[in-house]
A and B are shown apart, each in its own frame.
Chain A
Amino acid sequence: MKKYYIFKNSIYHLSIYLFLVLLSSVSAAAQLTIDITKGNIDPTPVAVPDFLSENPELSQLGEDMASVIRNNLKRSGLFVSLNPEGFLETQVNIDYQPNFSSWRVINAQALVSGRIVSESSNKLRVEFRLWDIFAGKQLIGMRFITKNDQWRRAAHKASDEIYKALTGEIGYFDSRIVFIDEKGSKLNRKKSLAIMDQDGYGVKLLTNGSQLILTPRFSPSAQKIVYLSYENITPSVYLLDIETGKRTKLGSYPGMTFAPRFSSDGNKLLLSMIKGGNSDIYSLDLNSGLSTRLTNDSSIDVSGSYSPDGKQIVFNSDRGGNPHLYIMNSDGTNKKRISFGEGRYSSPVWSPRGDKIAFVKSLNGKFSISVINPDGSDERALTESFMDEGPAWSPNGRVIVFSRETRGRYGSNSIWSVDLTGRNLKKVNTPGKASDPAWSPLLP
């Protein structure tokens, strides 16, 4: 059985080809399964020895690739990457079954054995096998062919396959995060559009900081970003194709447009437009350019977000007095309020899985990244601080990234992530101050 993924990523006019091939047979049902819907109090111990290579020049790369995978698994919160210093068995060849008992002794529940081979002057072949130590069998075996300088992506792809084999869920490691890079003090912030790998590597600035840029969002289906730019007297939403570098001002609206969100197929956009001081939500068909007004009243209507099936929209409105969450049909009909708790609700974003809506709750001077079911039930705060805001989902709907700003004169922004369960709160590494993160889809 054979599976091919071919992708072309030419964001910086660099073409990359990566082939994914299954090595030998794959067991259909993994014995070792991890339920990621519950809070995982005991992360699963996984051993990822440095990838082997017969070529001494590739031995550093073998360490680096294993390290990327270990870090990915560890940051997911679902796994502990065991320290290689404690490993009892040193494999010299990944094509033999490991000595399971020597891995059981150190309590490894899964083992990732990998190898790097130089395929040609600029291509690598990366192979790995994932072993279920307690069942004593191989879960997956795979081969990637990648350009030398794309080895991190191969490690992320491997991480996604491991995550999928162990959890049954699609991973999110071979993906990127677009965000706002911030420079300067609180009273003089320079904000630029930036992008990086989900693990914080490969940061690139996409604008030069001369214009205020806010609230980028990634297309769920393409390497495209929408964001708010203050480059003209009337700030508006722009679309940037990061593969071609082409930038387009979206729509021809008489007022300021902001708060853009893609539909899950990437063909439509929700945004808010200000007319006469009043903000209302519009949908914009990106193919036809046609715009439809979806709210029409004198209250603040902002931050519309489509359900994954595109049939419904969650949005933020203060039509009932304080800002709360409302749901309407995608044609603007049947508006109903879903949040009824104390405090102020804002910035809803529908999970790509459809089961949850993430939002910001403000209560007693604190701000929380929270989740609620689309029917308004099961509201839960996942975080709390002086200012947590701007939630955005990982492509598999299991992790939320957001901005956290510290209090006071020297207050600054950073990017954090938290699991849907509220566990595994972590700061995401960025080169400097950063805000407004948004996750890309998995790279093809």
Chain B
Amino acid sequence: MNIKPFAISFSILALSACASQPPVQPAPPPPPPVVEAPVIVEEAPAPVIQEPVVEEIVLPKLPTPGSLEDFIMSSGGDTRVYFDYDQYSLTDSAVASLRAQSSWLKTYTDVNVIIEGNADERGTREYNLALGARRAESVSSFMVGLGVSPTQINVVSYGKERPIDARSNEDGWSLNRNANTKIMSGTVN
């Protein structure tokens, strides 16, 4: 919302000193002349008015259908699904997210994705590469099962090489055990 600056006029009037004069006073001085002060038009200072909350709510700009933003939104804002320790089976929330991703990918069949399988740091490098591959495959085969064309999907495992959270605790690890659906090509701008 945009508030237009408004003009303020200031009138300065000189006041006559006429009230409560002492009773005995010889020859009162002539009253000062009444001067019309010039009207000064000033630029208002930047308004410090808090905008009303209701007016701050901006309707989300809908992403262009078929765009990367559209895909992210349809995935619920996160293109990753998360796994339990040393597991590659899909959780309920992963299934829900992948259903949404799959239906989007079935709509936009020109889009190609790569499923990146990731593991947390509590495994050795080569084993984690194998584990990440299983996670990526879980996502890929689920999507294909829902009718996404296999030609749209590539898979790769990064093992523990691509953490998204640096903490060495369960909070960090649970975020790093994921498979990310990354769009490679085919989206509209």
A316 within 8 Å of B (CB atoms) = yes
A69: chain B residues at CB < 8 Å are none
A263 to B161, CA, bound (A): 27
Interchain CA distance A187-B164 in the complex, whole Å = 6
Chain A interface size band reads: 35 or more
Is A274's beta carbon under 8 Å from chain B? yes
Contact A259 B129 (CB under 8 A): yes
The interface centre, meaning the residue of A212, A303, A410 with most chain B CB atoms within 10 A of its CB, is A303
Q: How far is the CA of A346 from the CA of B129 in the complex (A)?
A: 12
A365 touches B122 (CB 8 A): yes
Is B168 touching A276 in the complex (CB atoms < 8 A)? no
Give every chain B residue within 8 A of A387 (Cβ-Cβ).
Answer: 121-122
Q: Please give 11 more A-B residue pairs, beta carbons under 8 A apart, in addition to A214-B129, A300-B131.
A: A234-B154, A234-B156, A256-B156, A274-B130, A278-B137, A303-B126, A316-B127, A362-B123, A386-B168, A389-B125, A390-B124
- In the complex, chain B residues 122-156 whose Cβ is within 8 Å of any chain A Cβ: 122-127, 129-131, 133-134, 136-138, 140-141, 154-156
* B181 interface residue (CB < 8 Å to A): no
Q: Which of A107-115, A331-339, A401-409 contacts B (4 or more CB under 8 A)?
A: A401-409
Asked if A431 is at the interface of the complex by the 8 Å CB criterion, the answer is no
Residues of B within 8 A of A (CB): 88, 114, 121-127, 129-131, 133-134, 136-138, 140-141, 154-159, 161, 163-168
Residues of B within 8 A of A432 (CB): none
A235 within 8 A of B: yes
The residues of B that contact A405 with a CB separation of less than 8 Å are 121
Q: Are B133 and A347 in contact (CB under 8 A)?
A: no
- Cα distance A386–B127 in the bound complex, in angstroms: 17
Known interface pairs A215-B126, A362-B123. Does A407 touch B168 (Cβ–Cβ under 8 Å)? yes
Closest Cβ of chain A: how far from B128's Cβ, in Å? Answer: 9
Write out the residue numbers on chain B whose beta carbons fall within 8 Å of the beta carbon of A276: 137, 141
7 shortest A-B CB distances, which residue pairs?
A277-B137, A279-B130, A300-B130, A409-B166, A259-B126, A346-B124, A407-B168
Q: Is the CB of A303 within 8 A of B127?
A: yes
| Per-residue B-contact encoding for A314-335, CB less than 8 Å = 1, 0 else | 0010000001000000000000
Residue interface mask A252-277, B partner, CB < 8 A = 1: 00001011000000000000101011
Q: Which of A277, A323, A390, A408 contacts B140 (CB 8 A)?
A: A277
**Cross-chain pairs A/B with CB under 8 angstroms, 23 sampled:** A185-B166, A186-B166, A214-B161, A228-B129, A256-B156, A256-B157, A258-B129, A259-B126, A274-B130, A277-B88, A277-B134, A277-B137, A277-B155, A278-B137, A279-B130, A300-B130, A300-B131, A346-B126, A360-B124, A405-B121, A409-B168, A410-B166, A411-B166
Is A367 at the interface (CB under 8 A from chain B)? yes
Q: Is the CB of A409 within 8 A of B136?
A: no
What is the chain B residue whose CB lies nearest that of A260? Answer: B126
Bound-state Cα–Cα, A228 to B129, Å: 11
Chain A residue numbers with a CB within 8 Å of B129 are 214, 228, 256, 258-259, 279, 302
In the bound assembly, the distance between CA atoms of A189 and B137 in angstroms comes to 25
- The answer to the question of A160 belonging to the interface, with a C-beta cut-off of 8 Å to chain B, is no
Which chain B residues lie closer than 8 Å to A386 at the CB level? 168
Is A274 within 8 A of B127, CB to CB? no
